[in-house]
Amino acid sequence: MRPSTGANYRHVQGLSRGLAILRAINRSPNGWITIAELAALTGLHRTTVRRMLETLQAEGYVRRSESDDSYRLAHKIRQLSDGFTDDEWISEVANPVLGELLQQLVWPSDLCTIDGDAMLVRETTHRFSPLSFHRAMIRQRLPLLLTAAGRAYLAFCGGEEREQLLQLLAAGSDEQAAFARNRALVDLLCERICAQGYATNDGEWSLQTKIGALAVPIHHGGQVLATINLVFLRKAVSVPEAARRYLPALQGAVEKIEARLARPDGPLAGGGG
């Protein structure tokens, strides 16, 4: 005679706690969350949350961002659910490549994806670069027309998307609005960027006039998914010199990421996300 189901088995509290943590991460507005936030949402003690996260990380289901010690879902979670965005796939794949780039060039880099009318910094090496002048770059929003990261995206994205973005910018009242309304100037900028294969910023952003930057797009499936920049002080190196010295390594990093994304067993295989 079979035993009745359910009543003869004890509730596995550890499993419930682990699932509660996964649910909280999955529901977080930006796909990332801190230990303190997880403790508040789940009602678990921080020590318990940390222990659960360490186990989930060891099993490959979550990962810790070294940029700010937040946690997010890892691509192995796809075996359980398809609820994972392309932006997070790119971030996870790019993270070790950004670390290698930092070792090569020392200057910090950011991985950025489009976020409405701006570029959102999803991963960064500012925290680890001895040459960094802005440590808290993670989740900062960068203007499209005034930064290398934004310009690279705008120049290489599809014409329809570019038009929509420019209309959005032109309707604003910030320093980008007048620039966005001058379509001849924007077209000239985009043509130059496409011709040379990378975008630059030589201090045009009024909030960061001391900064120069290079940026290159990340392509997958005929679309631009993200951009990677390299940020430096203009008094230390000019933009033309930075392009001569650093662009090959920056382009090499992008090639590594694109190759990983394009693999048959890569995180975006089968159109996931």
Query: 124 with 137: CB under 8 angstroms?
Result: yes
Res 252 pLDDT > 90? yes
106 with 217, same domain: the answer is: yes
CA distance 231 to 149: 10
| pLDDT value at residue 8 | 59
Mean pLDDT of the chain: 86
63 with 169, same domain: the answer is: no
63 with 151, same domain: the answer is: no
- SS3 breakdown of the chain: % helix, strand, coil, rounded to 5? 50, 20, 35
91 with 71, same domain: the answer is: no
Question: Domain boundary at 40, 58, 79, which?
Answer: 79
Enter the DSSP assignment of 25: H
Please compute the mean of the pLDDT values over residues 161-180 and round it to a whole number.
92
- Retrieve residue 218's tokens: 């990340």
pLDDT-derived band at 78 (thresholds 50, 70, 90) equals low
Query: 36 with 46: CB under 8 angstroms?
Result: yes
Please compute the mean of the pLDDT values over residues 55-76 and round it to a whole number.
84
| pLDDT value at residue 16 | 85
Tell me if 33 is assigned to some domain. yes
74 with 96, same domain: the answer is: no
248 with 138, same domain: the answer is: yes
224 with 123, same domain: the answer is: yes
Tell me if 247 is assigned to some domain. yes
202 with 232, same domain: the answer is: yes
Tell me if 186 is assigned to some domain. yes
Tell me if 44 is assigned to some domain. yes
Question: Domain boundary at 79, 107, 132, which?
Answer: 79
CA distance 258 to 221: 10
CA distance 146 to 179: 9
Query: 213 with 231: CB under 8 angstroms?
Result: yes
Task: Count the residues in the chain.
Answer: 273
Tell me if 3 is assigned to some domain. no
- Burial label for 69, CB within 10 Å (0-12, 13-18, 19+), is exposed
Tell me if 272 is assigned to some domain. no
Q: Over the stretch 12-33, which tens digit does the pLDDT of each residue have? A: 888 888 888 988 888 887 778 9
Tokens 């979670």 appear where? 77
Domain count, the chain: 2
| pLDDT value at residue 1 | 38
CATH number at residue 20: 1.10.10.10
Query: 49 with 42: CB under 8 angstroms?
Result: yes
Question: Domain boundary at 39, 55, 79, which?
Answer: 79
Nearest by Cα to 155 from 119, 113, 197, 206: 197
Tell me if 273 is assigned to some domain. no
- What is the span of the domain harbouring residue 46? 13-79
Tell me if 1 is assigned to some domain. no
42 with 116, same domain: the answer is: no
Q: Over the stretch 115-148, which tens digit does the pLDDT of each residue have? A: 889 999 988 998 889 888 776 777 889 999 999 9
CATH number at residue 139: 3.30.450.40
